[in-house]
C-alpha cells in the first residue's frame, strides 16, 4: 500500500483499531498513578499529543509528551510510562524507557515489533502490537485508539461509550468522504504556492501539529503552527505587514467563546495583509467528530499537495540518511 491507500483507509483503521484494543490488559490502576508520560518521536508521538487534547477534560492526572532521549526528573514509581515506537527500534524511545525502568515506573508499550516488542515479551510488560506495513504516520488511528482505550481502562470506565463514539466517527468519515476530498482539493488550490501558517485553538493542537508534520513528510513542504490564544501575544504582530508568500490556515473548531471570538478577529485583521485566509470549519458541533474530520481532511490536503508538486508522499530519504549516519558514528 502507498500513502494514498492508507489515507483512504483511515476510517476503516478506526474500527480495526477498536477490535485490537479489546485485547489490552493493564495491571495498573489510577490510584497507583500521579502522572502519565507518553514517550515517542514523530508519527509515534503525535498520537499522544492528540489523546492529551481529547482527554483534557476527563483525565484527572497530567499527561506529558516526551520527545527526547531523557525523561523528566519527576518520573518515578507513580508514573505510567507509555513508550510508543512503531518500528520498535527508535533509539530515543528505547533510551527513555530504560530510564523509566530504572525509576520503577509502570510501563506500557505500543509497537509493531523490533526491540521494543522483544523487551515487552521478555519482561512481561503490558503492551499492544499494532499492524506492520505502513509508515508510522500512516498508522495514526492505531496508536490513538489504543491510547484512548488504555487510559479509559486506567480510569476504570466501561469501553462501550468510547467504542460507540469512535464508530460514529467512522460513520461520519465514510458518509462525507467525497465531500472531504472535494474540500481538500479546494484548499490545495489556495495554498499550493505559499507557505502555510497553521493556527488552531488549544483544544486542536494535535490537529495543527499533525497537519504540519504531514505537510513536511508527505508534501515536502515547510510549515509552522501556533495556538490561540498564545499567538495573540506575539505572532499576530508581524501580520501588520503585507505578505503574499504565505497563507494563514485556521482550524476553526469548538472552543471557548473567548477563543472563537479571537479567531474571528484574527482572520479579519490578517485579511488586511494577505490575499486570502483558509478557514477550516465543520457545522457538526461534536468535538470528537470535528477532531477526526479535520485530521482526515488535512491528510488529504497533504497528499494532493504532494501530487500537485510532483513529489512522492512516501519518500523520507533524509530521515533515513540521518539514521544511517547516526548508526555509523
Task: Give the active site residues.
Answer: 217, 233, 323
- Helices 287-309, 205-217: crossing angle, 10 deg rounding: 20
For residues 58 and 167, what is the distance between their CA atoms, to the nearest angstrom? 20
Q: How far are the Cα atoms of 44, 64, 136, 214, 272 from residue 82, in angstroms, in the given order?
A: 11, 10, 16, 24, 46
Q: What angle do CA 192, 243, 253 make, to 5 degrees?
A: 65
Which has the closest alpha carbon to 24: 135, 134, 164, 157? 157
Which has the closest alpha carbon to 36: 90, 87, 74, 89? 74
* C-alpha cell of residue 13: 483503521
* C-alpha cell of residue 168: 460514529
Q: What angle do CA 189, 195, 197 make, to 5 degrees?
A: 105
Q: Please, which contacts does 131-134 make with residues 24 or more away whose CB atoms are closer than 8 Å?
A: 131/16, 133/1, 134/1, 134/6
Hunting for cell 463514539 — which residue is that? 165
Q: How far are the Cα atoms of 190, 215, 246, 299 from residue 193, in angstroms, in the given order?
A: 8, 13, 8, 18
Cβ distance 192 to 315 under 8 Å? Answer: no
* C-alpha cell of residue 67: 520527545
Amino acid at each position: 500500500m502507498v500513502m494514498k491507500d492508507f489515507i483512504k483507509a483511515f476510517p476503516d483503521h478506526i474500527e480495526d483499531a477498536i477490535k485490537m484494543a479489546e485485547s489490552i490488559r493493564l495491571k495498573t490502576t489510577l490510584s497507583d498513578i500521579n502522572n502519565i508520560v507518553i514517550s515517542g518521536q514523530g508519527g509515534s508521538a503525535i498520537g499522544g499529543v492528540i489523546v492529551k487534547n481529547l482527554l483534557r477534560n476527563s483525565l484527572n492526572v497530567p499527561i506529558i509528551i516526551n520527545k527526547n532521549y531523557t525523561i523528566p526528573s519527576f518520573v518515578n514509581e507513580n508514573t505510567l510510562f507509555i513508550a510508543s515506537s512503531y518500528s520498535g527500534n527508535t533509539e530515543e524511545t528505547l533510551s527513555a524507557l530504560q530510564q523509566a525502568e530504572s525509576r520503577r515506573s509502570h510501563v506500557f508499550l505500543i509497537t509493531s515489533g523490533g526491540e521494543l516488542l522483544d523487551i515487552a515479551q521478555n519482561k512481561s510488560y503490558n503492551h499492544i502490537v499494532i499492524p506492520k506495513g505502513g509508515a508510522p504516520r500512516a498508522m495514526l488511528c492505531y496508536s490513538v485508539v489504543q491510547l484512548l482505550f488504555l487510559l479509559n481502562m486506567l480510569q476504570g470506565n466501561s469501553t462501550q461509550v468510547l467504542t460507540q463514539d469512535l464508530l460514529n466517527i467512522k460513520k461520519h468519515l465514510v458518509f462525507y468522504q467525497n465531500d472531504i476530498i472535494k474540500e481538500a482539493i479546494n484548499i490545495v488550490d489556495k495554498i499550493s504556492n505559499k507557505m502555510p501558517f497553521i493556527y488552531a485553538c488549544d483544544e486542536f493542537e494535535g490537529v495543527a501539529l499533525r497537519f504540519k508534520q504531514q505537510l513536511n513528510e508527505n508534501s515536502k513542504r515547510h510549515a509552522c503552527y501556533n495556538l490561540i490564544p498564545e499567538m495573540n501575544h506575539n505572532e499576530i504582530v508581524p501580520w501588520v505587514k503585507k505578505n503574499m508568500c504565505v497563507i494563514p490556515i485556521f482550524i476553526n473548531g469548538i472552543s471557548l467563546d473567548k477563543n472563537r471570538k479571537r479567531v474571528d478577529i484574527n482572520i479579519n485583521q490578517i485579511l488586511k495583509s494577505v490575499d486570502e485566509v483558509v478557514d477550516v470549519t465543520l457545522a457538526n458541533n461534536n468535538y470528537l467528530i470535528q477532531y477526526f474530520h479535520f485530521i482526515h481532511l488535512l491528510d488529504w490536503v497533504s497528499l494532493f499537495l504532494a501530487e500537485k508538486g510532483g513529489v512522492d508522499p512516501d519518500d523520507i530519504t533524509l530521515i533515513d540518511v540521518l539514521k544511517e549516519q547516526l548508526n555509523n558514528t
